[in-house]
A and B are shown apart, each in its own frame.
Chain A
Amino acid sequence: MGQGSLWTIWKIAECDFRLTWKERSVILWIFIMPIAFMFFFGFSSGGSGDSTPTAKLTVENQDGGFLSYELLEALTKESISLVDSLSEGENPVRTIIIPPDFTRAVLSRQRVTLVLRKEEGASQEASEAVSTAIFRSLMRVVSGLVELEAEALEQRKPGFAVRDNAISGSLWEMVRGEGGALDSIHVRLDSLQAREPLVTVSSAMAGRDRKTPSGFQGSVPGSLVMFVLMTMVFSGLSLTLERVNGILRRLGMSPASEGEVILGKLLGRMGVAVIQIAVLLLVGKFLFHISLGSSPFALVLLMIAFAFCTGAFSILFGSLFKNPEHMEGIAIITTLIMAALGGCWWPIEVVGRPFQILALVFPTGWTMNGLHKLISFGLGTTAILPHAAVLAAFGLGFILVGARRLKWTL
């Protein structure tokens, strides 16, 4: 390819690039809407807070005995938000109802039922977390009680014994009528509960950057990938318009070769995509305070591969249709399908294995996966080389088919 040829490609690309930005409304689609989506989806899924939102649990304590307070104290050690009283106009999301006589029934070893009431609209996942928290808190209280019972057995206290694998009596019977005995159980249980745990769990994230893709950390890459794809798919529409209006035919009569025209068109589109990606990443970094990983070079490489792939897809898309009006709906549907199945709408981890594999059929899936490697794991260039290569291969395939179809028109 000679210098003249490069110059021709550059001029065609520059012309397309300028024409795109001449239309002021593109600012809305290229920048404003993606940012709105980033904000909306990010805000709805936790915003910028690093901490996971905690599930709310309202307490309805009908007991008044010390064991219910021990249970509530144990619940405060869990990652849930306990609500003692609701402010005016506030509705409970889920409520734990501790029945009257809870303390007496448990100390008497009588069956007792706690109720967890979920209101309409309560998140299923948060309710599961609350159930687990209650289970663990009960375990803490009950194991303390069993220790107390074991101590009572050791001390052969009257009113409580194990005979022939059966328990006779209970802590309640043991202390009944004995002034202050219930208080001493309370104090002893408190001291047991206050001990440092023997088994602890230390949690850490793998990788270097350790950013979970939730809130803005999830919505920025997802919206970026979807809207860059949308911009490129819709720029295919302008290519169709050029075909319909005969502009491409006229261009074909110029000294520019078909290859130069197609490469120029591709380069112009890539330029638009690169500007869009750069602005959206900067917005993500400085407005939504997301991490972009620790390897700027790897990020640039992946994003250029994505820009090439989507730019080539734009050429292919523009070569497939004859009526621009028919393309709008198809363009939207194509973008929606590729974005949804590629993992831009929801974390790909929550879908079944077949859909996780299906995600890799689309360039969106590879881009999202590569972004996770860079942003979540803080990995470098080596980790995303396969992603960049696959995106380049996708792009090459798209441009070859697109060029073949456009040749006929030219």
Chain B
Amino acid sequence: MRQVILIVMKDLRRRLRSPVAVVSMMFIPIVITLVIGLVFGRSGQVELPRIRVLLVDKDNGVFSHFIRQGMQQERLSEMIDLVEVEEDEGRSMMEKGEASALIEIPESFTADLLDEKPVQLSLTKNPSETFLPIIVEEVVETAALMLDSGVRIFADPIGRVQSMFEGESWPSGNDVTGLLDNSRDRFVLVGGYLTDSLVVLKTEDATAQIEEEGSTQSFDIFAFVLPGSLLIGLLFISQIALRDIVREREYGTLPRLLTAPLEVGHVIAGKTLSAFVITAVSCILLVIIARFGFGITLGNPLALVVHLVATIFMCTGVLTLLYGFIRSDRAADAALPVVILTMCLLGGSMVPYEQMGAALQEAGKFSPVFWAVDGLKRIFIEGAGLRDISLHLGILYGLAVLTVVPGTLLLRRRVKRGG
């Protein structure tokens, strides 16, 4: 045991003398979390930039003004930057991608609608944007439906007004009174739905109930992103720490070391343990940064410690097994990052697991990274305890044992053979 500890101490001293490689890997989770947090804001509510919408109004009538004013009313005006342009100018701007959408209101839009003739609004969307033109489309569709409903409801009084103006004689007092009564009645009917909100849509959030129980806080993008990026960092740190075995074998340091009264098993155990310690120290530093740098609430301390130990153990175990199959330093440099990134891709380190689609989600469960990331998210975001993540812990510790044992045996055999 003493020899193992001596090897660990020697490796730690070496890493302390030259920490750049490990420290730069520690920066990966910090940078990813920071960039995403900076871009999308801590609450993760994407504050969309104001949507530039061009309007070509060839009608200039009451109903085209309704559309224009609708887009400039309080809530929409915060979201939409409406710019009136001429037709050619608008089309040219759209071709250059200078706005998210162009709305064209045709000539005699108002007159046709008053005659209850079908009319069509044209919407040209920016093809290089995915979301903003869809928002504009929804707004225009809704405005069209409001106009449609309004015209249908007030079709009768509108028709009466038209026939009054089209008639040769001045309308009688009774005609005007009848028209006013008719219009007022319809306003009263509509008013019930508008002012009294007779039909209300209430949105309930299943997660809100958990929030009310006080077991979690409002959404924190840092707590959502950091677990995934942390795993990328930890796996690469484990890789760097374990790389010594292959390098020392190649440089001849290991055979020389074995001339001392040391067993191969001691050396492999020492190297594996030092990889575990280096990964653990890095992890502790990253968790401290997560708490005090990003202000992440760490949740249940016992669950966090047990889960992190399982995660580090898993990282070391998986990398030990992989190194067991690797012959040279060059092969390690080429193959291991690919394996690590693939595990991270599938495990939800790069794309949120929730967005991955059913097939990829199922595949993701075969990646150890999934169990580490999901467990950490549950601790950070939901305040999960040991019982809540028992399945995660079981899989991570199980995987760690199942990888570290054959991994060390493979490495031992390889070192003994001098391969």
Chain A residues within CB distance 8 Å of chain B? 23, 25-26, 28-29, 32-33, 36-37, 40-41, 43-45, 52, 106, 109-121, 123-125, 127, 129, 131-132, 134-136, 138-140, 142-143, 146-147, 149-150, 153-154, 162, 165-167, 192, 196-207, 209-214, 218, 323, 325-326, 328-330, 332-333, 336-337, 340-341, 346-347, 349-353, 355-356, 372-373, 376-377, 379, 383
Contact = CB atoms under 8 A, between A and B. Distances in A.
B163 to A, nearest CB: 16
18 contacts: A111-B198, A111-B200, A113-B200, A117-B203, A118-B203, A118-B204, A123-B355, A139-B149, A142-B199, A165-B184, A167-B192, A198-B117, A200-B119, A200-B144, A326-B20, A326-B24, A352-B39, A372-B97
A112 B200 contact: yes
Nearest to A327: B24
A350 B46 contact: yes
B113 A206 contact: no
Contact of B206 (A114, A118, A209, A332): A118
Interface stretch (B69-77, B151-159, B265-273, B303-311): B151-159
Contacts of A135: 142, 201
B130 interface: yes
Interface stretch (B121-129, B285-293, B408-416): B121-129
A204 B125 contact: yes
Given A37-B345, A111-B196, 15 more contacts: A28-B334, A45-B355, A109-B198, A112-B199, A112-B200, A115-B203, A121-B354, A134-B201, A139-B145, A167-B189, A206-B125, A211-B127, A326-B20, A351-B49, A373-B97
B262 interface: no
B202 interface: yes
Nearest to B233: A329
Q: Which 10 A-B pairs have the closest CB atoms?
A: A329-B24, A25-B334, A143-B149, A372-B128, A376-B128, A206-B94, A376-B127, A326-B20, A199-B144, A349-B129
A204 B122 CA distance: 8
B95 A143 contact: no
Given A202-B123, A349-B131, A373-B97, A154 B156 contact: yes
Interface stretch (B133-141, B251-259, B399-407): B133-141
B193 interface: yes
Nearest to B332: A25
Contacts of B148: 143, 197-199
Given A115-B202, A165-B188, A349-B132, A198 B152 contact: yes
A329 B200 CA distance: 54
A203 B145 contact: no
Contacts of B331: 25
A351 B149 contact: no
Interface in B331-360: 331, 333-335, 338, 341-342, 345, 350-351, 354-357, 360
Interface stretch (B4-12, B26-34, B316-324, B388-396): B26-34
Contacts of B192: 109, 167
Nearest to A330: B24
Nearest to B337: A29
A111 B199 CA distance: 6
Interface string B182-219: 10111011101100111111111111000000000000
B206 A120 contact: yes
B357 to A, nearest CB: 6
B64 to A, nearest CB: 11
Contact of B25 (A114, A154, A201, A329): A329
A341 B149 contact: no
Interface residues of B, number: 99
B102 interface: yes
A356 B304 CA distance: 37
B200 A125 contact: no
B120 A210 contact: no
B202 A114 contact: yes
Most buried by B among A209, A210, A351: A351
A146 B186 contact: yes
A116 B127 contact: no
A115 B204 contact: yes
Contacts of B147: 198-199
Contacts of A140: 145, 149
A353 to B, nearest CB: 5
Most buried by B among A201, A204, A353, A377: A201
B62 interface: no
Nearest to B67: A199
A323 B20 contact: yes
A352 B201 contact: no
B190 to A, nearest CB: 6
Given A329-B24, A332-B28, A150 B185 contact: yes
A205 B127 contact: yes
A372 B130 CA distance: 12
Contacts of A125: 131
B338 A33 contact: yes
B125 A203 contact: yes
Contact of B351 (A44, A200, A350, A353): A44
Contacts of A121: 354
Contacts of B48: 350
A199 B119 contact: yes
Most buried by A among B47, B333, B338: B338
A142 B193 contact: yes
A201 B121 contact: yes
Contacts of A149: 189
Nearest to A152: B189
A170 to B, nearest CB: 10
Contacts of A337: 31, 35
B102 A23 contact: no
Contacts of B91: 206
B330 interface: yes
Most buried by A among B35, B45, B102, B146: B35
A373 B188 contact: no
Contacts of A106: 198-199
B95 A329 contact: no
A116 B334 contact: no
A192 B152 CA distance: 10
A328 B236 CA distance: 10
Nearest to A37: B345
B188 A143 contact: no
Interface in B36-50: 36, 38-40, 45-49
Contacts of B126: 205-206, 376
B107 interface: no
B345 to A, nearest CB: 5
A223 to B, nearest CB: 11
B118 interface: yes
B89 interface: no
A201 to B, nearest CB: 5
Contacts of B206: 117-120
B189 A150 contact: yes
A44 B354 CA distance: 10
A213 B128 contact: yes
Given A112-B199, A112-B200, A201-B141, A28 B338 contact: yes
Contacts of A353: 49
Contacts of B151: 198-199
Given A112-B200, A138-B199, A350-B46, A200 B360 contact: no
A162 B188 contact: yes
B26 to A, nearest CB: 8
